[in-house]
Chains A and B, each alone.
Chain A
């Protein structure tokens, strides 16, 4: 035996790369669940709203319904999958006990968050990208500010990756975790303007919808794609950025202090 007691040179940045690789491999290994299923779901939405209703309804002047709904569907894919990737990975680690393998290593809280977030962003972006590619079969989008659209999509992805981490830390069992998804995330998305512009709602629903954080993400993304929205891009971007910072700080505090991760 060559001797077990002779550690190589320590590289403090190194733990991040394998952790990111692990997280990416994790969703890639079950791609039928993590990528194919959401893409099929998005395709069904696109077919219903694009091929059937798309040309017949208009909720926004100058655009058919397919053009209106596609940005919302793309962002919905990004949001759902960013959330699901972080929440399921971390919760399964907690639930099955595998988290101790990470807790005993020198992986820092920032590396932990960054690796989980980037993997979630990759999955969310892949679903969003494929949804967009499929959407080209149903409608031509103007892409007024493509860079701003990418920025909003990435911001949404980061935000919901943080939310996924927080949900996984607080969830006590699978039921609680699915409650975050079914009773919080889903209503917020559906009521946040994916399928209709908030401006067509009567008072007080229109005003109440402005309290839905999802509205700013969806409206900001749609604004960047179509060039019009219910509110200005600056407001959408500002509110979304603020929410992202708040959730990031919360997730960082939870992971840094080890709340509910370390006994």
Chain B
């Protein structure tokens, strides 16, 4: 089966400043793929090259087996793009704009599908309003309807929930999950890492135009996240026992709290055995697992320092 998206050695510079450097990755059909990175990492440039807004300097992009330059008509109608910036045309009403947009993609207006989008995105009461009269949230909803009006096979969401309230964000993600279940592949970028962790099957992290990680979300978090064990002691410790050195220990709370980093690739039985033999007088304990946010910071900070 062809990849939903195949990116090969993609590079792009603006005025000799590289924005994307030799980027390669694939997106499988039917997955929800997260492309993350700090501001200026090259995510939007990559998405713009996929959708055709930005010209490619070198490399290749294909969607569902078709090159996005030599078969641009084919690939573009298979893609739906929700841009990061709010893009609306103030001359038209929501109904007019949706109708026109289906036509731009070379497909006849499908009234049933259009109505379904209108209902699911609560656009019904606003159909006869000109764009300028819509609230920010409604504009976002409209942009999603517009990107889906031609039934794309790959939906690209470039920070679709930026500046959107919590309730709308949840309903948008529910909707995205639903269209994904119905067969649409999703490529999304977001600054809400918790959402990316919950939504995405796989995550790629970009930094300074390069790919610094690409793994299934769970593996990435498991491999790179840190689990810590916090122990509350009966009496303060003056020095940390040398036996615990491998767990990167540190003392807090005037020596009454001992914090250890748990190994990610082995069990904890050895540690428990050591703690027991050291007779530290443990009053209580707590474990903490860092999430994608910590992984993200770890990867992007190391890139910045290198």
**Residue from A7, A25, A26, A100 in contact with B53 in the complex, judged by beta carbons closer than 8 Å:** A100
Shortest CB–CB separation between residue B200 and chain A, in angstroms?
18
- What residue of chain A has the Cβ atom nearest to residue B29's Cβ? A5
Shortest CB–CB separation between residue B96 and chain A, in angstroms?
7
**Residue from A13, A17, A108, A262 in contact with B54 in the complex, judged by beta carbons closer than 8 Å:** A262
A4-B51 in contact (CB<8A): no
Query: Contact flags (1/0) for A110-148 with B, using CB distance below 8 Å?
Result: 000000000000000000000000000000000000000
A104-B182 in contact (CB<8A): no
Write out the residue numbers on chain B whose beta carbons fall within 8 Å of the beta carbon of A103. 51-53
B87-A262 in contact (CB<8A): no
B108-A11 in contact (CB<8A): yes
- What residue of chain A has the Cβ atom nearest to residue B96's Cβ? A25
Q: Is B178 an interface residue (CB 8 A)?
A: yes
Q: Is B252 an interface residue (CB 8 A)?
A: no
Q: How far is the CA of A108 from the CA of B85 in the complex (A)?
A: 24
A105-B178 in contact (CB<8A): no
B100-A12 in contact (CB<8A): no
Q: How far is the CA of A6 from the CA of B182 in the complex (A)?
A: 10
Write out the residue numbers on chain A whose beta carbons fall within 8 Å of the beta carbon of B104. 15, 18-19, 101-102, 105-107
Write out the residue numbers on chain A whose beta carbons fall within 8 Å of the beta carbon of B78. 7
Known contacts A4-B148, A5-B184, A25-B96; is A101 also within 8 Å of B103 by CB? no
Write out the residue numbers on chain B whose beta carbons fall within 8 Å of the beta carbon of A2. 112-113, 116
B151-A6 in contact (CB<8A): yes
Query: Contact flags (1/0) for B54-95 with A, using CB distance below 8 Å?
Result: 110000000000000000111011110101010111011000
A14-B103 in contact (CB<8A): yes
Shortest CB–CB separation between residue B209 and chain A, in angstroms?
15
**Residue from B91, B96, B151, B153 in contact with A8 in the complex, judged by beta carbons closer than 8 Å:** B151
B183-A15 in contact (CB<8A): no
Shortest CB–CB separation between residue A10 and chain B, in angstroms?
5
B87-A101 in contact (CB<8A): yes
Q: How far is the CA of A30 from the CA of B184 in the complex (A)?
A: 39
Write out the residue numbers on chain A whose beta carbons fall within 8 Å of the beta carbon of B54. 262-263
Q: How far is the CA of A32 from the CA of B120 in the complex (A)?
A: 37
Count of inter-chain pairs, beta carbons less than 8 A? 125
Write out the residue numbers on chain A whose beta carbons fall within 8 Å of the beta carbon of B87. 97-98, 100-101
Q: Is B24 an interface residue (CB 8 A)?
A: no
Write out the residue numbers on chain A whose beta carbons fall within 8 Å of the beta carbon of B182. 1, 3-5
Q: How far is the CA of A30 from the CA of B74 in the complex (A)?
A: 35
Interface size bracket, B side: 35 or more
B92-A106 in contact (CB<8A): no
A7-B150 in contact (CB<8A): yes
Known contacts A1-B182, A14-B108; is A262 also within 8 Å of B151 by CB? no
B113-A101 in contact (CB<8A): no
- What residue of chain B has the Cβ atom nearest to residue A258's Cβ? B55
Query: Contact flags (1/0) for A228-258 with B, using CB distance below 8 Å?
Result: 0000000000000000000000000000001
Write out the residue numbers on chain A whose beta carbons fall within 8 Å of the beta carbon of B183. 3-5
Which residues of B are in contact with A by a Cβ distance under 8 Å? 14, 48, 51-55, 72-74, 76-79, 81, 83, 85, 87-89, 91-92, 96, 99-108, 110, 112-113, 116, 120, 146, 148, 150-153, 155, 178-179, 182-184
Q: Shortest 9 CB-CB distances between A and B: which pairs?
A: A18-B103, A5-B183, A106-B73, A105-B104, A8-B107, A4-B179, A18-B100, A3-B182, A104-B51
Q: Given contact pairs A5-B183, A30-B91, enumerate 13 new A-B contacts (beta carbons under 8 Å).
A: A3-B182, A7-B77, A9-B107, A11-B106, A15-B103, A18-B101, A22-B89, A22-B100, A25-B92, A102-B104, A106-B104, A107-B104, A262-B55
Q: Could you show 5 A-B contacts with beta carbons less than 8 Å apart?
A: A1-B182, A4-B151, A7-B107, A10-B77, A103-B52
